[in-house]
Structure formats: C-alpha cells, structure tokens
Amino acid sequence: MSARGPLPNRLRGEITARIDGETRILCLTLGALAELESASDGTGLAGLARRLSETRFSAEDLIRIFGAGLRGGGNVITDAEVSELRIEGGVPEMARIAARLLIATFAPDGEAAPEHAAPAQDRPGPAP
C-alpha cells in the first residue's frame, strides 16, 4: 500500500476511487460481472454500457456498478450501504468512476483507464 492508499492492479482491471474519504479499489471480476448481468433487467452488460454512454443511466445502475466493483475489489459492502456512500463531485463523478471501471475491465491487453478521463465532449474526435 502506498502513502496515498492501495495500489490497483491495472492488469486485473482494478481502479481506485476516493469514496467516503478513503481510497478504495474497485474491480469487476467475473463474479461481479455476473452480478451486474443478472440485475440488468434483460438488457445485459451491453445495455448497461449503452445507457452509460448515452447518459441514460439510473441511480440504481450506479449503485449496482459501484457495489459490484467494490465487492470485486475485496470490500465487504451491500448495495444498501453503497447507496449511502459520499463521493466528492456527486453523481457526475460517480458516472466518471463507473465509466473508468468499465473501460478498465474491457480494455484490451490490460490498457489502463486514465484516473481522470476527460468527458467525451472534451476529447478530440477522429481525424477527418
């Protein structure tokens, strides 16, 4: 552990996030992904990712992603407890963390998700 908190294993898809004043590891393990999929109302992980990318996600989506990610990162926490967590930056920051977690999980060859990825509208688009 570093002076700033636990170090994530990027090759496993782990990220860190500051939650309730503590740096915590989040990871979507196979079990965590199965948990998300079973709670997806029939849309699967693709539907969840689509809702996030289109900013049509619900608070319940964020609670489930955070809960699954925290549990996958070794934290013992229920979704009810997740709903009470405080994150500086509020819901927009929670959405950015959820997006980083999904990118870290599905990035090819262990490519790391940036700790503070720019929102999509701030990133340059493809070259014409």
Identify whether the C-beta of residue 78 lies closer than 8 Å to the C-beta of residue 70: no
In a domain, 31, yes or no: yes
**Is residue 3 assigned to a domain?**
no
In tens, the pLDDT along 11-61 reads: 788 999 999 999 999 999 998 888 888 877 767 777 777 777 777 778 888
**Residue 97 — very low, low, confident or very high, per pLDDT cuts 50/70/90?**
very high
Choice among 18-32, 33-47, 69-83, 101-115 with the minimum mean pLDDT: 101-115
Tell me the C-alpha distance between 19 and 65, whole Å: 14
Residue 36 CA, chain-centre distance (Å), reads: 12
Question: Total domain count for the chain?
Answer: 1
- Beta-bridged to residue 2, according to DSSP, are 5
The Cα 42–Cα 65 span in angstroms is 16
Range of the domain at 99: 17-104
Q: Is residue 112 part of a domain?
A: no
Q: How many CB atoms lie within 10 A of CB 83?
A: 13
Q: Which of 111, 23, 109, 19 is nearest to 65 (CA)?
A: 19
In the chain, what percentage of residues exceed pLDDT 90? 36
95 falls within a domain: yes
Please, which residues have CB within 8 angstroms of residue 40's CB and are 6 or more apart in sequence? 47, 48
pTM of the predicted protein model: 0.74
